[in-house]
Each structure stands twice: as structure tokens, then as C-alpha cells.
Amino acid sequence: MIEKEQDGVRYVAFESLAAQQGLDALVTTRHGGVSTGHFATLNLGGRTGDEREAVRTNRARAAGVIHAAPTWLTFGQQVHGARVSVVANENRGDVFEETDALVTNAALVPLVILTADCAAIFLFDPVQRAVGIAHAGWRGTVARIAQRTVVTMRDRFGSNPSDVIAGIGPSIGPCCYEVGREVIDAATEAFEGRVEEVLVEPDMASAGSFRASVNEDKKHFDLWRANELVLLDAGVREERIETSRLCTACRTDVFYSHRAEHGNTGRFGGIVMLHEPVLESHHR
């Protein structure tokens, strides 16, 4: 991923998506805002207990990075479910109830997912000019929310999954994500035949060495690989999937981590927005 800074706001971007014309796709960090204490400094989460005015200021700063008005920011009321909402131009700035993924083909409608260990999954169809973003913790991942989002883009906008470019944002990595029986059982069912790729032992983790030991009756869940498999099943081509491999629990100096910070933390944001289509000039 590419590290950038604009007007004091630090963020990261996918190389594959940054190369696309007429598109903004970025992940904010915890740097560049006005919040203090556990929320320092660019907390975008409105339900964290942070001061409302601070969050409002932080969201305005994040919106400024993509030259959007803060009132344009469009959210899902995330509940760790698998509902995908279609956003039209007239829905810009709304909060969609019980929604963990958003899609649109409207320009200047910034879609936002808030995370602090879960992954934001970015989707861009350069042919039909459509975007999507999904919130994928373990529940959303085993419910295949990324695949549901691709299917919604196909059904509503005519997207061919093989055209879609995907990015899997920073999240807790397999190095730090120890899980118990509930997650193990759910992942075993969801990834039948490939469970060994997502429930990993220390020497098999895609992130490398583990910071925490594997306790008896527990495994480490690889959100990154799991969502790669979900996207592949959706028809996205492997070479079009870019995974950040930035662990939020390892990098609390850059990102918020619910687990590493014991719930006393803020939220960073995944933001994606289409601009007006780039028209080629034709000379006679």
C-alpha cells in the first residue's frame, strides 16, 4: 500500500486502485485529527464515546482528502451482518440501517466503512463505473459479505466480476487474531475443504511469525486469506485482488485496534468515491 498525507491527515491507499482514473479509495489512519485520549487523534466513529464535535471535525478533515463535503459521507449502520444497500445520488449523506456493505454507480457519493480490526473490502468496476465497500469481521467474512457485494454490483449495475478490482484493507492479522470454538466452527462450515487456509498454525500464517501463542482448543483466523477466497468464489480474478497485510493489532501506532486496545479506542475509515467519468477528448 501507498502511504500518503494531505493537510495533516495521514492515510494509505491501494496501488491498484490509486492507478485508476476518476476514483478515490483510501483508508484513514489514526493521525491528523483533534480527538484526545484513547481516541487520539482522527477518530471517525460516532458511537465510541468520543466528543461529538471532535468526531464531526475529524470527518470533515477526512472528507477534505477526497475534496468532498462532510455532509456527503454515506454510512452503513454496521451490525456485523451481510446486508448490502444500493446508494443512489439522492441517498448521499444517509446512514443505512443494519447495513454492512454499500454500492453505488453515482458520482460524488463517498461510501464509508468504519473499522478497528475488521477489514474494509474495496471493490471497483472500471467498465461499468461502479464501486462497493464492505465491512468484514469474522461474522461478515463467513457470511460472505464480499461475495454478496460483488453479486449486488453485478445484478444492479451489470458488473462482470472478472472486471472488478478489489482491495482488502488493514485489519487484525492472523498473527494476532486468536479465536475460539464459535469462530472455528463457523469458519469450518463456511470454508469446507479449504479451512486449513483460514484457520492457521503459527508457521502457516500469511503474516509471518505470531506475537501470541496458540492456546489449547484455539486457532488463529486469517481474515485476509478468508476474504481472498470469498472474492475468488465471487469471480474476482486473483491478480486483481490486493491485500494490505497491515495488522491493526501490531500497528496501534498507525491504526485503531479494538482487541489490542481492549475496546478503548476509536475507528478509522475506509472511503471510496467515484468522480465524474473521465471523458477522452476527440479531435476532428
Question: Taking 80 as the threshold, does the pLDDT of residue 171 lie above it?
Answer: yes
Q: Domain 2-171+240-274 carries which CATH code?
A: 3.60.140.10
CB of 121 within 8 A of CB of 103?
no
Q: What is the pLDDT of residue 202?
A: 52
Percent helix, strand, coil in the chain, to 5, is 30, 25, 45
Which residues pair with residue 268 across a beta bridge? 115
Q: Is the pLDDT of residue 207 over 50?
A: no
Q: What is the value of pTM for the model shown?
A: 0.94
The residues with which 115 forms a beta bridge, in sequence order, are 268
d(C-alpha 103, C-alpha 192), whole Å: 28
Q: Is the predicted pLDDT of residue 200 greater than 90, yes or no?
A: no
Query: How high is the pLDDT of residue 54?
Result: 98
Mean pLDDT score of the chain, rounded to an integer? 93
Q: What is the pLDDT of residue 282?
A: 38
pLDDT at 237 over 70: yes
d(CA 156, CA 85): 11
Kind of pairing between the strands at 74-76 and 268-274 = unpaired
Q: What pLDDT shows up at residue 216?
A: 63
pLDDT at 281: 40
- So where are the chain's domains? 2-171+240-274
- HSE value, Cβ hemisphere, 13 Å, CA-based, for 82: 14
pLDDT over 70, % of the chain: 92
End-to-end Cα distance, the chain: 41
Query: What pLDDT sits at residue 278?
Result: 52
DSSP-assigned beta bridge partners for residue 270 = 27, 113
Burial of 262 (0-12, 13-18, 19+ CB in 10 A): exposed
At 261 the pLDDT is 97
**pLDDT value, residue 277:** 65
**Statement: residue 283 has pLDDT above 60:** no
Tens digit of pLDDT for each residue in 34-57?
Answer: 999 999 999 999 999 999 999 999
pLDDT for 217 equals 79
What percent of the chain is predicted at pLDDT more than 90?
Answer: 90
Q: Are 247 and 175 in contact (CB under 8 A)?
A: yes
Mean pLDDT of 172-189: 96
Return d(Cα 72, Cα 91) in angstroms, integer: 9
Phi, psi values for residue 230, rounded to 5°: -60, -45
Of the pLDDT bands very low, low, confident and very high (cuts 50, 70, 90), residue 214 is: low
